[in-house]
């Protein structure tokens, strides 16, 4: 076992780009990395700050689990946003067959982005706070059960989404959920767990805003809306359990799209419990449908969240990439 926190060599992405590869990430590796006895090795990409800082402690149990089983592996720790994608891309280039995201949805998104369109298999240890995409994959949150799945699980083709030039695994959204995430950051000082997120929801309701947008699904007729939120979903939930897309399947070749009208304060309070339980889809103030491509143009530039990270902006072009990555699942 080797622990490593080096970054990927510069130019790793540009060297692998090419018109023959449908995903803007490294091409398939020729062979898996192995130890002197020819056994395949696992590469763990660990975000030590995930799960309110508890991820590293939980991962120690996983290390002991694999060491006891005699499975060869190496560990790479992330140091900043974007580092997981760099490390995972390096592991793909070095021929690791199974690369494991250890952290939350953000770590999973970055790792999956590097593996898209390659021969490498993605494993997931859901050691973050919300673990929303892992839940729809039915990956257990129990440490030992999740570790065991890395051995017994089946590598199943899983869809990803492309938002402008970035990949996402779970949910891409604008509007209310972006406001919740931004305001949650303000409440994290001295707090941990789900409390900052709950405070972020309250704060976002008190400071709700209208998103004037034009939405096109699969190249059809343009829909003009004053929206509270627009969510383009590969997974079912975000924010640690808000069931925004109860019908979503991460391998059906379609997004589930949820568009909620801009609402007054008391209507939001009434609708919010429905969103948490996934009972909003028949509400007359909500459009719930499916599409393989979504275009959103807003009157003013809006920040876009990808799997809980505020890293894109409108105008937004989303398309589904069917079976873009193989993930170890039950």
Among candidate residues 102, 118, 152, the one where a domain is terminated: 152
Residue 110 is part of which domain span? Answer: 2-152
Query: Taking the model in full, what pTM does it have?
Result: 0.85
Based on the domain organization, do 190 and 293 belong to the same domain?
A: yes
Task: Give the CATH number for residue 231.
Answer: 2.60.200.40
**Is residue 162 included in any domain, yes or no?**
no
Based on the domain organization, do 16 and 132 belong to the same domain?
A: yes
* Residue 187 CB neighbour total at 10 angstroms: 16
* pLDDT of amino acid 40: 60
Based on the domain organization, do 58 and 121 belong to the same domain?
A: yes
Based on the domain organization, do 89 and 194 belong to the same domain?
A: no
Based on the domain organization, do 20 and 54 belong to the same domain?
A: yes
**Is residue 89 included in any domain, yes or no?**
yes
Q: How many domains in the chain?
A: 2
Among candidate residues 122, 152, 182, the one where a domain is terminated: 152
Residue numbers of the chain with a pLDDT score lower than 70: 1-40, 193
* pLDDT of amino acid 242: 86
* pLDDT of amino acid 54: 92
């Amino acid at each position: 076992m080797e622990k490593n926190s080096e970054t990927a060599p510069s130019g790793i992405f540009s060297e692998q780009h090419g018109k023959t590869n449908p995903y803007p990430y490294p091409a398939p590796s020729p062979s898996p990395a192995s130890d002197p006895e020819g056994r395949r090795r696992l590469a763990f990409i660990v975000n030590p700050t995930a799960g309110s800082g508890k991820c590293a402690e939980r991962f120690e149990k996983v290390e002991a689990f694999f060491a006891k089983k005699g499975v060869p592996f190496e560990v790479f720790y992330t140091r900043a946003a974007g580092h997981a994608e760099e490390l995972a891309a390096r592991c793909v280039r070095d021929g690791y067959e199974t690369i494991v995201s250890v952290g939350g949805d953000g770590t999973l998104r970055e790792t999956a982005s590097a593996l898209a369109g390659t021969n490498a298999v993605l494993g997931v240890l859901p050691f973050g706070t919300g673990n929303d995409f892992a839940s729809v994959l039915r990956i257990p949150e129990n440490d030992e059960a999740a570790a065991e799945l890395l051995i017994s699980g089946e590598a199943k083709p899983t869809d990803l989404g492309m938002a402008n030039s970035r990949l996402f695994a779970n949910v891409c959204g604008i509007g209310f959920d972006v406001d919740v995430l931004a305001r949650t950051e303000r409440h994290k000082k001295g707090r941990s767990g789900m409390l900052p997120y709950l405070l972020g929801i309250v704060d976002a309701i008190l400071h709700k805003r209208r998103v004037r947008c034009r939405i096109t699904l699969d190249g059809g007729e343009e829909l003009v809306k004053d929206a509270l939120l627009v969510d383009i979903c590969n997974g079912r939930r975000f924010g640690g359990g808000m069931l925004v897309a109860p019908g979503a399947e991460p391998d059906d070749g379609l997004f589930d799209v949820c568009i909620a009208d801009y609402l007054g304060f008391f209507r939001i309070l009434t609708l919010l419990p429905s969103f948490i339980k996934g009972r909003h889809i028949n509400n007359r103030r909500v459009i719930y449908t499916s599409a393989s491509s979504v275009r959103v143009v807003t009157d003013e530039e809006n920040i876009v969240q990808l799997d809980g990270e505020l890293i894109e902006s409108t105008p937004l072009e989303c398309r589904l990439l069917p079976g873009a990555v193989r993930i170890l699942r039950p």
